[in-house]
Chain A
Amino acid sequence: MHEFSVASSIVSSVAAEAARRGASRVTDVYLGLGELNFLCMEQLVYAIGIISEHTALEGATVHIENRPARIRCNSCGYEGGAQHEEFGEFHQSIPLLSCPSCGGSTDILEGRECEIVNATMVMEE
């Protein structure tokens, strides 16, 4: 449960950029969320909504793009997506970090990020 502190970083970064550009408000915030981090999308959107009250982000719509993991094999050099294992009883899908090609160990290239991609701002003229 660290959505609140992450949401706080997002709101302050976007609000600071809006102030720097002289924008009066932010209407949309676009985030990229990797599948290997532990942030819960719903809680993150909820926390951003609460924290952005009385800031330029108040009422902004938060759009989240879910990003799949990308891995690189230490043995055969495979680079690409990870296989997933479905656990019906837990309603969840677990990315497996073994190489889908040769079973070797891999490094994570992408999938742990929580990125502010862009934001739409309104400039009064």
Chain B
Amino acid sequence: MHKIIDVEFEADVLDANRRIADDVGEHLDSHGILSVEFMGSTGSGKTLIIEKLVDHLAKNGKRAGVIVGDVAGDDDYRRIKAHGAEVVNVNTGKECHLDAHLVEHASEKIDLDAIDCLIVENVGNLICPADFPLGTKKRVVVISVTEGDDMVRKHPVIFQIADAIVVNKIDLAPYVDVDLKVIQTDLKRIAPHVPAFMTDAKHGENLETFMDAILDE
């Protein structure tokens, strides 16, 4: 004999990450640290923007800590380290995104009393990071024109949940037959309330405007 039972769960699988993210956020707040996550495509310029942000902070007498996520390697770690920031490298191995648990552990390796701003660079990916907030105060998504003019409408949600959007490498638009207006029109329709910055990070165009906005608490 056997009987059938119905068991209620009502448990959100993604909620476990969100709870840890909330803890991370509170912990960083308690140290008076502004925290910013950079999500975005592979090769969109996230690391270069972070390098420049570290320099920008230093120029204003502020110290940065950086957590760098990549599937493998320490290329980004070495680039950012050269700018004098305290950097922790996180290799995810198989996962295509960081999660709050990884960030919680990585942040334990940084002296939080010695920094003013914690920057987290997620793995290059426009999909998965949207489901895994890390606990930072702000989330920035970076794309570049070289990926084509359809990136926004192909990945709407990540733009909708971001606090700021950077469209980078605008100087290259004419060489890759991309009309920046198409991207801007998509952004206006899909994420009209999220501030968007058109930058050429390499040569510095509009970068200061973006950095001042993102560091403004």
Contact = CB atoms under 8 A, between A and B. Distances in A.
Interface of A: 1-2, 5-6, 9-10, 13-14, 17, 21, 23-24, 27, 36-39, 85, 87, 90, 94-98, 103-105, 108, 112-125
Interface string B139-156: 000000000000001101
Given A6-B13, A112-B14, A114-B12, A121 B7 contact: yes
Nearest to B152: A94
B93 to A, nearest CB: 12
A104 B192 CA distance: 9
Contact of B15 (A113, A120, A124): A113
B203 interface: no
B59 interface: no
Given A1-B127, A2-B128, A38-B131, A119 B7 contact: yes
B13 A1 contact: no
B2 A124 contact: yes
Contact of B9 (A21, A24, A113, A119): A119
A6 B12 CA distance: 10
B2 A24 contact: yes
Interface in B109-141: 127-128, 130-132
Nearest to A103: B192
B13 A13 contact: yes
B170 interface: no
Interface of B: 1-16, 95-97, 127-128, 130-132, 153-154, 156-157, 160-161, 189-193
Interface of A is mostly: mixed
Given A38-B128, A90-B154, A123 B5 contact: yes
B6 A2 contact: no
A94 B9 contact: no
B130 A17 contact: no
- The CB with the most chain A CB atoms within 10 A, among B1, B96, B193, is that of B193
B128 A1 contact: yes
Contacts of B189: 85, 96
B4 A122 contact: yes
A110 to B, nearest CB: 10
B148 to A, nearest CB: 13
Contacts of B6: 118-121
Nearest to B133: A112
10 contacts: A9-B13, A21-B5, A21-B7, A23-B5, A85-B189, A95-B156, A114-B12, A118-B7, A119-B6, A121-B5
Contact of A6 (B8, B14, B192): B14
A42 B2 CA distance: 32
Contact of A1 (B1, B15, B96): B96
Contact of A97 (B5, B13, B96, B191): B191
Contacts of B132: 2
B14 A37 contact: yes
Contacts of B2: 24, 122-125
B165 to A, nearest CB: 14
Contacts of A97: 160, 191, 193
